[in-house]
Structure 1
Amino acid sequence: MNPSSLSPPGPSRRALLGAFAGAGALAAVGAAGCAAPSTGGAGRTRLRYWHLFGGGDGVNMAAMLDAFRAEHPDIHLEDATLEWGAPYYTKLGMAGAGGRAPEVAVLHMARLTGFAPGRLLNPFDLDLLAEHGVTPADFPENLWTRGAVEGRQYAVPLDTHPIVLYYNTDICERAGLLDGEGRIRPIEGREAFTEAIRAAGEVTGQPGLVIETLGADTVGPWRVFSTFYAQAGGTLLSADGSEITIDEPKMLDVLTYLRMLADEGLIVPRVDYQGTVGVFSAGETGLFLNGEWEVSTFTNTGLPFSMARVPNVFGSGAAQADCHSFVLPNQDGRGGATNEAAHAFVAWMLRNSVDWASGGHVPAYLPTLDEPDYLAMRPQSEYRGVIDEVALDPPAWFAGSASSMWLELGAVFSGVLIGTRTPRDAVDEARSRLEDLLQTPNPFGESA
């Protein structure tokens, strides 16, 4: 995975659990979010853009920004890459609260609810976006509507980054799992998935599947659980994010299945995030469940692999995901040339998102999905159909990438995979932790 853009390993994220403010963060924002003139010299419009992309994503983003600059000599684009996770969102929130934020920023869509739209964020001018060739009809309805609050559009999706199935083509061919075109055969149901894992393991003499099971900041177990629970039709919270709606039989069913995989030695035991990448890179296992952002890692190693949607194990093709989206952080008196430049920038990035897709993310801008350059991009285009079945986090301030919910529930489900919790205990503990999160006030308050 691209550690800087999605879920970096290491203890810092847990230490920052729930952190949205602090003297150090405020000082950083004071320096980075200072009010700026609307021009960047020689009559050019100054446009400031904050994002959190590092690694391969950072390289792709830098190339896109250079291309934008070349095509827009009248705009002086200044970009800043900030530290992924809680530090980024702390700085972005404090900048918006002070009304002295950058013109454009990146936000994980599932975190929108916690960002007090209307107070920390300004809405997009849809007419202005349309002038630059981008309209609501250009996006999957579920992703577009998730960016709206009380009828106003506060987030415009750039992509969706779902969990997918990586597979070693050499191992899977020997296991009889590939079709005549070298793609993994359709897998439907838990028995078929279990047998596919077993077949891959028989080729290597080791567990056939690797997933993250432990670590200082374990979110892999959350991603896998969330995928299968969504496939079963389960929910955690009500549509407004105010009440717990856990379906205990479905949750227990999913967790029992995951525990069975561990107990029968079908998954690699006790492995953290970086360990999973290493195991699959070394050709030690045939199957790997993880986010699509590791495509560059395996491509660069020359590993014989491909990617597919997560199989329908529990009743649908749903896959846990989040979306990188563009937002307009709150500025006092937003408008004029800088605001128009911000809309032009967002529209250009979307219309050119085929370049962004090389890092594995599925473009949210639907016209890109039909571009020949994207369709020729393998394996990145192989799982594009998931865009209609992505399972975003429930709308709550404590949900979304790098969120309290990921860390809290990830730790609970990790216990199931490594044998320190029973599935029944995990259901009870997950409910208890969700209750605590619901009772914790949003550090940024409610929307205006």
Structure 2
Amino acid sequence: MRKRPPRSVPGGGLGRAPLSRRGLLGAGALTATGLSLTGCSTPLGAGLLGSQLAPETVLYWNLFGGGDGVRMQDMQKGYQDLYGADSLQATTLTWGNPYYSKLTLATVGNQPPDVAVSHLTRAKPLWAGGILDPITEEDLAGVGLTTADFSTKAWDEQVTDGQNIAIPLDTHPFTLFYNKEVCEKAGLLDSDGLLIDLTGKDVFESALAEISAVTGGTAVTLANVAETATPWRFFWSMYNQLDTATPFLADDGATLSVDEESFLQIMQTTREWVEKGWLNAGLDYATSQTQMFTGKAGFYLQGEWEIATAQSIDGLDFGMAPIPQLYDKPAVQADSHTFVLPKKDRTPEQRTLAMQFIKTMLDQSLIWAEGGHVPAYQPTFTSKDFQSLEPQRYYADSADYAVYDDPAWYGGSGSTFEDTVGAQLALVQQGSLTPEQSLAAIRGQLEIYTSTPSPL
């Protein structure tokens, strides 16, 4: 077992400082939100509401469920195997807005975890609200890390106000899944059984027509019923391939700055694909997968994390590829899971302990990559083990041209922004709205957010 750096609490003693009036108010706010926690090897809420932890214990919050949750638990166990069963208290909270609200309230209440997971797009509003501590070059060097150890795109994206606010674990891009049996019949596979180059809108649309001829109907599926994130990810990928594209939001979310002509161009193409029968008019998340899995469609567009679902289907021969470049430049919507340090008083030893935990997680990035995510940690990305991982290696380079959501207090993955905009985009695909009506609805519904200062 490796030696852990000593950990002390300012003012002496073990564990957290006594709960202050501000902390009590924060804890009360957490209770009012209906806090639901699932712990890992520790009692419910231990360390959250003022109970003491061993001085060497890292208190860690994340939002991972499903296959990601299983892999993260494996990585957490890897840390405990090195440093002892009492070295970590890991707590998983509900994905999306509930998680970020609880993290904010806990930090305001002076009871934050030592390390937390944040989507990169959600870390920026947390930073703007004073919820995060910066990560210094000394912090990195103390555990043998440098900026060169990380994907340039993801690392540069997290730098805010000249400070490092997060340490990227991965990039998770929007991706094209393809049914090899269907695509082979459509003449779209090369001699290695991989999807041919589909660069260019005309080329891609020809491929959709060939697939449609094989399936007798749909060529590509995109979830858009009771699902808002997927329509947004598709739009943001296509829109940012245009040279005319501008940020959707500016001034930290106070201004709607989307280029109208570019918006209408992408949404009109979406409608044309539906009208030609190439793209589904309306499918929920699960059914959009099933269409490709069962050969009723050749392509399926979704985040790479659905690799685990595809791999679980007996007899399915599938591949994965980057979202093709249809317009002026390559671009794909993506986000990154990152590690952040919630704001709190820390001794140098406590900072080192938190960074040691993060470094150990990064060292296990291959486990994480098996779930589809592209490692941001370059020693893992460039390793023979990752570069031979299939189908991950075929879309991994899309992390280099990832496009993240614009910073806004109401934006980022799983946010009010994605729900609002994605719902209107879905209605265009369903044929309920014209592109012009969709844009007008987006303007109207976002006005309350663009005109409201950040509550953080």
Q: Same fold (TM over 0.5)?
A: yes
- Quickly say closer, same or farther: Cα 1:268–1:240, change in 2 above 3 A: closer
1:55 Cα offset (Å): 0.7
Task: Name the larger-Rg structure.
Answer: 2
Picking from 46, 49, 53, the partner of 1:34 is: 49
Q: Is the 8 A contact 1:308 1:382 kept in 2?
A: yes
Query: Any unmatched runs of 5+ in structure 2?
Result: 1-28, 38-43
- Tell which deviates more after alignment, 424-433 or 356-365: 424-433
1:429 Cα offset (Å): 2.3
Separation in structure 1 between the aligned mates of residue 89 and residue 293 of structure 2, nearest angstrom = 37
Picking from 412, 415, 425, the partner of 1:400 is: 412
- What amino acid does structure 2 have at the position aligned with 1:124? I
Q: Is the 8 A contact 1:163 1:289 kept in 2?
A: yes
Picking from 242, 250, 268, the partner of 1:238 is: 250
- What amino acid does structure 2 have at the position aligned with 1:231? Q
- What amino acid does structure 2 have at the position aligned with 1:248? E
- Quickly say closer, same or farther: Cα 1:330–1:34, change in 2 above 3 A: farther
1:198 Cα offset (Å): 1.5
Report what 1:152 is aligned to. 163
1:328 Cα offset (Å): 0.9
Report what 1:10 is aligned to. none
- Tell which deviates more after alignment, 177-186 or 188-197: 188-197
- What amino acid does structure 2 have at the position aligned with 1:223? R
1:36 Cα offset (Å): 5.4
Separation in structure 2 between the aligned mates of residue 399 and residue 361 of structure 1, nearest angstrom = 22
Q: Is the 8 A contact 1:221 1:414 kept in 2?
A: yes
1:143 Cα offset (Å): 1.9
Amino-acid identity (%): 35
- Quickly say closer, same or farther: Cα 1:38–1:128, change in 2 above 3 A: farther
- What amino acid does structure 2 have at the position aligned with 1:425? Q
SS at match of 2:54: coil
1:80 Cα offset (Å): 0.8
- Tell which deviates more after alignment, 101-110 or 127-136: 127-136
Report what 1:201 is aligned to. 212
Report what 2:333 is aligned to. 320
Separation in structure 2 between the aligned mates of residue 36 and residue 123 of structure 1, nearest angstrom = 27
- Quickly say closer, same or farther: Cα 1:192–1:73, change in 2 above 3 A: same
Picking from 33, 47, 52, the partner of 1:25 is: 33
Report what 2:17 is aligned to. none
- Give yes or no for the alignment of 1:88 onto 2:96: no
Q: Is the 8 A contact 2:195 2:321 kept in 1?
A: yes
- Give yes or no for the alignment of 1:366 onto 2:381: no
- Tell which deviates more after alignment, 317-326 or 71-80: 71-80
Separation in structure 1 between the aligned mates of residue 153 and residue 125 of structure 2, nearest angstrom = 19
Separation in structure 1 between the aligned mates of residue 35 and residue 191 of structure 2, nearest angstrom = 59
1:376 Cα offset (Å): 1.4
Query: Any unmatched runs of 5+ in structure 1?
Result: 1-20
SS at match of 1:186: coil
- What amino acid does structure 2 have at the position aligned with 1:362? V
Report what 1:340 is aligned to. 352
- What amino acid does structure 1 have at the position aligned with 2:234? V
Report what 2:422 is aligned to. 410
- Quickly say closer, same or farther: Cα 1:279–1:396, change in 2 above 3 A: same
- Give yes or no for the alignment of 1:425 onto 2:437: yes
- Give yes or no for the alignment of 1:228 onto 2:243: no
Report what 1:110 is aligned to. 121
Aligned-pair Cα RMSD in Å: 2.0
SS at match of 1:399: coil
Number of residues of Structure 1 aligned to a counterpart in Structure 2: 418
SS at match of 1:354: helix
Separation in structure 2 between the aligned mates of residue 27 and residue 202 of structure 1, nearest angstrom = 51
- Quickly say closer, same or farther: Cα 1:117–1:249, change in 2 above 3 A: closer
Q: Is the 8 A contact 1:37 1:46 kept in 2?
A: no
- Tell which deviates more after alignment, 426-435 or 317-326: 426-435
SS at match of 1:359: coil
1:336 Cα offset (Å): 4.1
- What amino acid does structure 1 have at the position aligned with 2:361? M
Report what 2:450 is aligned to. 438
- Give yes or no for the alignment of 1:256 onto 2:256: no
Separation in structure 1 between the aligned mates of residue 450 and residue 81 of structure 2, nearest angstrom = 47
Separation in structure 1 between the aligned mates of residue 51 and residue 133 of structure 2, nearest angstrom = 17
SS at match of 1:164: strand
1:118 Cα offset (Å): 6.8
Report what 1:61 is aligned to. 72
Separation in structure 2 between the aligned mates of residue 149 and residue 253 of structure 1, nearest angstrom = 32
SS at match of 2:334: strand
